Structure 1
Amino acid sequence: MANIASQRIQREFQEVVRSEEVAKSLIAIELVNNSLLDLRGRITGPPDTPYEGGLFHLEIKGELALRQSCVTFTIVVAVPETYPFNPPKVRFVTKVWHPNISSVTGAICLDILKDQWAAAMTIRTVLLSLQALLAAAEADDPQDAVVAKQYKENPELFRQTARHWTYMYASGRRGEDRGHCQDFDAKIRRLQEVMRIDEHKALVALSSNNWELERATQALLP
């Protein structure tokens, strides 16, 4: 089984590398430590979305039946025995504000990574599906309830918040500021000064409280 999985992963890696999407810089995959057991994917934010211009990094894991635990590719000494019959475990390394992606852990709610996985699917399928998810959220089946609530109740504020997170974490803060809101920056700095907290904690508090400074301050109080 392990040999089958190893051959499959090697073939899929080559499929992604040679794909049209890689040529257009839409997706990418790389070996970490020059090992097929240690993979990292990357997708670009789709155009006409708050994620446009962002580069989002993904950690790709597999399951290994070893003492009933999940072991990442970076630790195991053999390829996952269950792949491709069970889906890979994928999470966003880049922080992102999206209803179907945890703003805390990067965990993803996507059907093909759960009960709708099929052995014919590939890593390329996963990367393209995640790019599509950024363009079309499923707020009724959220991974992050706070983000989903904002998405449904205040779509424009959600769009501005998601764009700000893209600017903060996925753009390298280089080049054109794609709709970056200076008022948001001012509120982040103010909350940092008042509460003596780091930038990310201030950003999360404000994002989760619709950028209302008083509400965010109250939420941070013990």
Structure 2
Amino acid sequence: MCLLSTTTTHVCFDPLDSPWFNRHTLESHLYDHRFCTFWPHFLDPSSFYIQARIRPTLGSGLDLDTSDSDPTTRSLCHYPATLIAMAANRNRRLVKEIQDVQKDSLSGVSLEPLNKAQTGSDTLDDLTHFKGVFRGPPDTPYHGATYNVDIKIPNDYPFQPPVMKFTTKIWHPNISSVTGAICLDTLGSAWSPVLTLKSALISLQSLLSSPEPKDPQDAEVARMLITNPKEFEHVAREWAIKYAGAPQGPPGSDSTGAEGSGGVTEETLKHKDDQKRERAEAAKLAQYHGYNKSLVDRFSAMGFDVPTVVAAFEFTGIDKNDGEDYELEEEYMGDITARLFGEA
């Protein structure tokens, strides 16, 4: 068996007398260890260790030795077959996420691999490092500004959250004014595999509308927001104009965002609390991945969390039915139950 993927040139598990090997491998490569190394089959596929030439620009996410003198390839390295499979699954998901963002003209966010953003290349050859972009929300000091976010993808994404930081300077209590580090539970304890890079960027956009000074990343900014909210808005707007390309305008005009929003008052803080609750509810519904809540909850009532049930639905191929509830066929119910209990 030969595996040809976006991360490898040739990976073979066959013995030397493999029909595929004899048909498709150049004779000059027959015993060249720099081309392939072969192992006999084992009972446990996870015990396979494979050896292959890996192109250095491909986004496999594997930490490869670069000591090979050949500039177009990396040196031969051993990796469990399960790691290769995990990287391939992650990359397939990331390609789909990019396509979803490109199709969505309403979210106001964009996402592309960092090498494409820097070079203009159309190839998706590094899916471990991205650039995210979104516009500052209206009725805030950040209105009309454009913010860039550096995104790094861990090896076990989506089971671990992406690592994000602002590369555009911003004055906000939950974002470091020095490093761009972000304090947001969606990128930490509240992360779920059903979330995406797009939903994370939208959460960052919402964070600009509803700062949380009681849980700050930047204590100085948080202190200013609490003690002198008008000064906070003034500085935040100045930074948005200076660093993020926000338009200038006369005080009180819509183009300023900060002054036009009327300042931070008890009423606006209450409004932001309401927005926070709405976001929390929206995030909760996002876990259902478009499936009807009642449909999923019938299985989660058995003691399984929502993401686990949704994953079983997607694995089984359950129709989302445009978010409407409906009765599942008995065969599908059996397949889902078997999946949930680890029998499939």
Q: TM-score, normalised by structure 2?
A: 0.44
Q: Using a 3 Å threshold, how does the CA distance of structure 1 residues 144 and 7 change in structure 2: closer, same or farther?
A: same
Residue correspondence of structure 1 range 1-222 to structure 2 within 5 A: 1-21=86-106, 26-34=108-116, 35-63=126-154, 80=155, 82-171=156-245, 176=249, 178-179=255-256
* Aligned equivalents of 1:170, 1:119: Cα separation in 2: 31
Deviation at 1:2, TM superposition (A): 0.9
Q: Using a 3 Å threshold, how does the CA distance of structure 1 residues 103 and 153 change in structure 2: closer, same or farther?
A: same
Which residue identity is paired with 1:113? L
Which residue identity is paired with 2:100? E
How large is the RMSD of aligned CA atoms in angstroms? Answer: 1.9
* Aligned equivalents of 2:153, 2:223: Cα separation in 1: 31
Of stretches 13-22 and 128-137 in structure 1, the one that deviates more from structure 2 is 13-22
* Aligned equivalents of 1:50, 1:174: Cα separation in 2: 11
8 Å contact from structure 1 (residues 167, 180) kept in 2 = no
8 Å contact from structure 2 (residues 247, 256) kept in 1 = no
* Aligned equivalents of 1:49, 1:175: Cα separation in 2: 14
8 Å contact from structure 2 (residues 129, 153) kept in 1 = no
* Aligned equivalents of 1:132, 1:103: Cα separation in 2: 18
Q: Using a 3 Å threshold, how does the CA distance of structure 1 residues 88 and 180 change in structure 2: closer, same or farther?
A: closer
CA deviation map 1:77-127 (0-9, x unaligned)? xxx2x1000000000000000000000000000001011100000011101
Please list every run of at least 4 consecutive aligned residues from structure 1 whose deviation after the TM superposition is greater than 6 angstroms: none
Three-state SS of the structure 1 residue aligned to 2:130 is strand
Q: TM-score, normalised by structure 1?
A: 0.68
* Aligned equivalents of 1:149, 1:175: Cα separation in 2: 26
Deviation at 1:180, TM superposition (A): 9.9
Which residue identity is paired with 2:226? K
Q: Tell which structure's C-alpha radius of gyration is larger.
A: 2
Which residue identity is paired with 1:40? K
Q: What is the aligned length?
A: 160
Which residue identity is paired with 2:180? G
- Segments of structure 1 that go 5 or more residues without pairing to the other structure are 64-79, 182-222
- Segments of structure 2 that go 5 or more residues without pairing to the other structure are 1-85, 117-125, 259-344
Deviation at 1:38, TM superposition (A): 2.9
Deviation at 1:37, TM superposition (A): 2.9
- Greater relative CO, 1 or 2 (CA 8 Å, sep 6+): 1
* Aligned equivalents of 2:153, 2:113: Cα separation in 1: 15
What is the percent sequence identity of the aligned residues?
A: 43
* Aligned equivalents of 2:183, 2:114: Cα separation in 1: 25
* Aligned equivalents of 1:154, 1:175: Cα separation in 2: 22
Q: Using a 3 Å threshold, how does the CA distance of structure 1 residues 161 and 27 change in structure 2: closer, same or farther?
A: same
CA deviation map 1:185-211 (0-9, x unaligned)? xxxxxxxxxxxxxxxxxxxxxxxxxxx
Equivalent residue, structure 1, for 2:120 = none
* Aligned equivalents of 1:21, 1:83: Cα separation in 2: 26
* Aligned equivalents of 2:111, 2:94: Cα separation in 1: 12
